[in-house]
Amino acid sequence: MAHRSPIVIAEIGCNHKGDFEIAKEMVRIAKVFCNADAVKFQKRNTRELLTAEEYNAPHPNPVHSYGETYGKHREFLEFDLAKHQELKQFADELGIDYSCSVWDLTSAREIVSLHPKYLKIPSACNLNFELLGYLCENFPGEIHISLGMTSRAEEERIVAFLESKNRNRDTVLYSCVSGYPVPHENVSLLDISRLKSVFGSRVKSIGFSGHHLGIAIDAGAAVLGASHIERHFTLDRTWKGTDHAASLEPDDLRRLVRDVRNIALAVHEKEPEILPIEQVQRKKLKRL
């Protein structure tokens, strides 16, 4: 029996550059041209998430900044709840799932009100147990959690917490390395297998969130049985913003979707021992 094909998520994040029409166009292209299964955005309450010092500091990479401070940069890239509601409605009309990473409690409350199929906790926030607890108690959908920058002891804490809330079976954990971009030698693809071995019987499934270049590694994630493959998505990798360099342009994402679906058809043992497609050649060529 073939693998189930991974769900491919186009992580738009903030790659829309704060332009709502670009965001809608990215949703449309992800569905119509790339045939992805889902799009994902990000939601932050900047004043809640950042300290005053962090808010007023300059962007660490000024050439990519959309504001005179890091806080203003982040606010420029944010859409309010009404815009997220419109994006979800647009995605629903196109037949592609909408989701969102929530970085703080206020953002979680807002996006929960839109009733998406799942929400994501980014690697940076996966030890925010107040945030996790709120989702466990108030969000009936799937809880997806990236495990970048996370020790194995911390992974266990996260899963044990979800078990204590009886939400572990609604949880997808993502193998992830937090770098932009991540060199191939740092991707650590076998962490998918490790997470499946350690947590596969305790959570719903194990996915893969990649920040590497190209799409070859995603084929490996599909072979290893990742339930979800999430990649940052952009219309132009040269655009202003730090995530674009580690993102896929539309034709790359289209090929990734095609490839992992074909791989899912191929990943199984040969059964029966001699396939029908071989029988004709066996009669013609086999020396018994």
- Residue recorded with tokens 């058809």: 265
Q: Which of 217, 207, 58 minimizes the C-alpha distance to 147?
A: 207
At 187, list the tokens: 């991707």
Domains, the chain:
7-285 (3.20.20.70)
Three-state SS at 269: coil
- Residues composing the chain: 288
**pTM, entire model:** 0.95
Please state, in angstroms and rounded to a whole number, the distance separating the CA atoms of residues 261 and 237: 25
Per-residue pLDDT of the chain (288 residues), as tens digits, is 446 899 999 999 999 999 999 999 999 999 999 999 999 999 999 999 999 999 999 998 888 999 999 999 999 999 999 999 999 999 999 999 999 999 999 999 999 999 999 999 999 999 999 999 999 999 999 999 999 999 999 999 999 999 999 999 999 999 999 998 999 999 999 999 999 999 999 999 999 999 999 999 999 999 999 999 999 999 999 998 888 988 999 999 999 999 999 999 999 999 999 999 999 999 999 998
What's the Rg (C-alpha) of the chain? 20
